Structure 1
Amino acid sequence: MISSIRWYGMVSYGMDEAMHMFEVMRQQGVNPDVFGYQIIMDSLCKMGKMAAAMDIFNQMVNQGVSPNKAVYQCLVLGSCSHGHFVKAKELISEAVNRGLCSNSVFFYPVINDRCKEGKVKEAQDMFDFIVGIGHRPDVIMYNSLMDGYCHVGKVEEALRVLDAMKSAGLQPDVFTYGILINGYCKIGRIDEGLSLVREISLSGVKPTTIMYNIILDGLFCSGRTVPAKEKFHKMNESGIPVGVGTYNIVLSGLCKNNCTDEAIELFKKLRAVNVKINVITLTTMISAMFKTRRIEEAKDLFATISAIGLVPSVVTYSIMMTNFIKEGLLADADDMFSAMEKAGCAHNSRLLNQVVRVFLKNGEVVKAVTYLAKLDAKQLSVEASTVSLIVSLFSRKGKLREHVKLLPVKYQPPEMLD
């Protein structure tokens, strides 16, 4: 027998090479164990080569090697991912008959995988099939299905699953409530989410940090700053752990709702007591500093990122560059772009398009053209909003029409080429 480590090594060289070695070894009378077969099948499933995976499965069985739970699981997941639901159900039935599916550990990934892909109808179909063959789902499986419905905005369907769970004699846990609260907030039904928080508090279940984070984010996103701040204070008073995730939601929420000075004050308090922060926190506050025209403080915070061992994100660089351009600090913007490249932070289409638009809005046509050239050089797409801005600024009635010849011909509005 060949160890599973050897098989992993073969697959790492490429599937074609691994399959060739697999056949050569079999011809020489050297057969893998069940783990070796599983590695080959799993790789084939992930590549969408389901027929080949099933051939290997049949070869394994013919060699007298009994499939284990992991083998069936990779084949079922592969079949579902590529639309072979009849085959998936056959494999599940076979695994059940072999006594390999005694609990939800086998079934949960099947339901969860479909839900994460947004294919809840398929998840529900598999769920019903699993129940139909005599398996009793646990809370984790019900939660996964509810999360799938909430993910696509179907909270009423999620509540139907909750009712079915209760009818089966199972009690919701904190994750169940968190899923439903998130579902309500995602579709803007914040008050129903708040009602659910009150309901679970009265039932003796203590709301978690995640639940509060969901509610806080929902309230801030809907512009309800006062109740959001009240919830945040209540969270602190209740002794519920408050981490960097919560602080990031509050700081960002305050900034988005024109409470930037409050955000800065809170941030200073957090730093004074050495609360652990991350690059998201600092990026949020850099934006806040620019918003209140505190340019030097924004620069200092950017320097802090590297000083405390963090790495700026593409969002951080984008905020620095676009605000430097707005402030007329063009050399600083170019330096920031160079620093980004040297740091190995890949600039994307979104960043370059945003920079081009800011330059154009500020009348810096030459600079805008330079960054348009970077888009072209990297074969990145020019966004519709960038094209629309170019047309509006350089058309016959646009305020930059006199500078249209500075643009590459491909970007000049057709009416100006006459």
Structure 2
Amino acid sequence: MVFRALLAAHPSDISALSDLNPTNLHVILSDPDLKPSTCLRFFNLVLKNRSFISFEPHLQSYSNLICRLLKARLFSDAETLLKSVSIDGNPRYPFPAIASVVENYYPEPKIRAKFFNLMLKVYSDSGKFDQVAKVFDYMKKKGIKIDERTCTVHLLALKKSDEVGLALKFLYGMIESGLEISVYSLTVVIDGLCKNGEIKRGRELVEEMVGCGVKANIITYNTLINSCTKRWDFRELELILALMEKEQQEFNIDTYNILIEGFTSYGKVEEAERLVEEMHDKGLKVTTHIYNLLMNAYCKVGSMDTVVVLFDRMIKRSVKSNADTYWALINGFCKVGDLKMALQYVNEMQRKGIELDQVILCRLIDGFCKGGMIDEALELHVEMQNQGFGVDLSSCNRIGEGLCESNRTKEAKLLLSTMVKMGINPAMANFTSSFVQ
């Protein structure tokens, strides 16, 4: 038959397409003996060579083939074809026209549902959010089954585009349509609200959804808690924790980590330490990072006795120390002027094979200078250069000021010369006024 010949035609020999008309194109695309994938290849050939045909393929041809592809579960091909005719094709058909053709020619409920859910996804992926609303309203009105997962994908797209108001409105639309809302969909909207700083609205939404039969999970609550701790909104945090208790939702390890990080950053160290002990009591893993947060927080307020106790406790509990752990100890003791203890932990970390980095070395130099130990600071500065560390302007200025205060002008000039050789502008040295005229 001529149709079979058309299908068998080599791409370089497409003159037979001139015999094609709307009727036989429809016959080809509807032929049940032809695989949908074969029909798609032929239809693409037709679209690429429109100059050989005397007509524009009808919308029904597109819709027919899309429905066949959906029935064959060739979803990716169906999506590409639908996008070509509804988003970026030439011609491009408006939603009412597409809906009318599908409604009139494809009565099978299952395929129609797949078609409109796919259309919802195509519009959403393309940022056509107003069109998504039209498709959604049309499906509700016509009683077409709406896929909750497709709606969730749309909620993610709205959140990504910072359209939180539309996401909230769409979620309510999902509820009104009778959809069984997943906790994932709820969490997507909660996350969007939290990122916009609307934590209270997020908590209220969780409370509302309980009445709709959707119970927030620990991921939802952690999203709210994380937003509270990042903004130090402890009043709202108390309400969220009270809600968790009411709903009998227990903390997981992420909840503890989020709370501890938030409390230590704000200075609520004792509350953070209580949570760490609670983790140990429950057999949850307490990481080195968590202990480092606690130790740094106590260092900020100069409670070095507590820092040492925490350090000993973490070692006894087989929590491994690292460079950040020793930074907390060394920095803390330098801060309170106890250089002897700082050096003790320097020696200990070196015995454990943990290398001193530039940050720790510069902190020690600063501590030496504040303690009047200029020679030790100079010696450490030289050692830094020998190890290949870059020149730290702040440390150099500290040493230079100390040398000038001790009337060691010659050594200060030598230090300045070294700084210049290392590429530092001499104008950035703030200790030269005593010897530069």
TM-score, length-normalised on structure 1?
0.57
Aligned pairs for 1:175-190 within 5 A:
175-190=289-304
Name structure 2 gaps, 5 residues minimum: 1-78, 83-123, 138-149, 405-411
Q: 1:53 & 1:174 partners in 2: Cα distance? A: 39
Aligned to 1:41: 159
Aligned to 1:384: none
The alpha-carbon deviation at position 236 of structure 1 amounts to: 0.8
Match of 1:75 among 192, 204, 207: 192
Match of 1:139 among 253, 270, 281: 253
Aligned to 1:90: 207
Match of 2:345 among 231, 239, 246: 231
The alpha-carbon deviation at position 120 of structure 1 amounts to: 3.3
Report the residue type matching 1:57 in the other structure.
Answer: L
Report the residue type matching 1:284 in the other structure.
Answer: S
Name structure 1 gaps, 5 residues minimum: 4-17, 307-316, 331-418
Question: Is 1:255 aligned to residue 369 of structure 2?
Answer: yes
Aligned to 1:162: 276
Q: 1:195 & 1:228 partners in 2: Cα distance? A: 15
Q: Deviations over 1:95-124 (max 9, x none)?
A: 9937x84xx555434323322322234334
Q: Is the alpha carbon distance of 1:297 and 1:79 closer, same or farther for their aligned partners in structure 2, counting shifts above 3 Å?
A: closer
Q: Is the contact between residue 149 and residue 158 of structure 1 (CA under 8 Å) also seen in structure 2?
A: yes
Q: Is the contact between residue 142 and residue 161 of structure 1 (CA under 8 Å) also seen in structure 2?
A: yes
Q: Is the contact between residue 279 and residue 285 of structure 2 (CA under 8 Å) also seen in structure 1?
A: yes
Secondary structure of the residue that 2:232 maps to in structure 1? coil
Aligned to 1:283: 393
The alpha-carbon deviation at position 214 of structure 1 amounts to: 0.9
Q: Is the alpha carbon distance of 1:248 and 1:156 closer, same or farther for their aligned partners in structure 2, counting shifts above 3 Å?
A: same
Q: 1:21 & 1:205 partners in 2: Cα distance? A: 48
TM-score, length-normalised on structure 2?
0.54
Secondary structure of the residue that 1:263 maps to in structure 2? helix
Q: Deviations over 1:271-330 (max 9, x none)?
A: 2133xx46xx61233313532353563465366368xxxxxxxxxx8x954727845869
Q: Is the contact between residue 123 and residue 145 of structure 1 (CA under 8 Å) also seen in structure 2?
A: no
Q: Deviations over 1:210-260 (max 9, x none)?
A: 111111111111111221112111111122343333333323333343334
Alignment root-mean-square deviation, CA: 4.2
Q: Is the alpha carbon distance of 1:145 and 1:322 closer, same or farther for their aligned partners in structure 2, counting shifts above 3 Å?
A: same
Match of 2:430 among 323, 327, 333: 323
Q: Is the alpha carbon distance of 1:72 and 1:167 closer, same or farther for their aligned partners in structure 2, counting shifts above 3 Å?
A: farther
Report the residue type matching 2:206 in the other structure.
Answer: K
Aligned to 1:196: 310
Report the residue type matching 2:255 in the other structure.
Answer: M
Secondary structure of the residue that 1:84 maps to in structure 2? helix
Q: Deviations over 1:159-211 (max 9, x none)?
A: 33234334444353323322222222122111111122122223333322211
Q: Is the alpha carbon distance of 1:250 and 1:324 closer, same or farther for their aligned partners in structure 2, counting shifts above 3 Å?
A: closer
Q: Is the contact between residue 60 and residue 66 of structure 1 (CA under 8 Å) also seen in structure 2?
A: yes
Q: 1:304 & 1:42 partners in 2: Cα distance? A: 47
Amino-acid identity (%): 18
Q: 2:359 & 2:382 partners in 1: Cα distance? A: 17
Secondary structure of the residue that 2:305 maps to in structure 1? helix
Q: Is the contact between residue 220 and residue 228 of structure 1 (CA under 8 Å) also seen in structure 2?
A: yes
Report the residue type matching 1:323 in the other structure.
Answer: N
Q: 1:24 & 1:158 partners in 2: Cα distance? A: 46
Q: Is the contact between residue 190 and residue 220 of structure 2 (CA under 8 Å) also seen in structure 1?
A: yes
Q: Is the contact between residue 221 and residue 240 of structure 2 (CA under 8 Å) also seen in structure 1?
A: no
Q: 1:95 & 1:305 partners in 2: Cα distance? A: 67
Question: Is 1:113 aligned to residue 113 of structure 2?
Answer: no
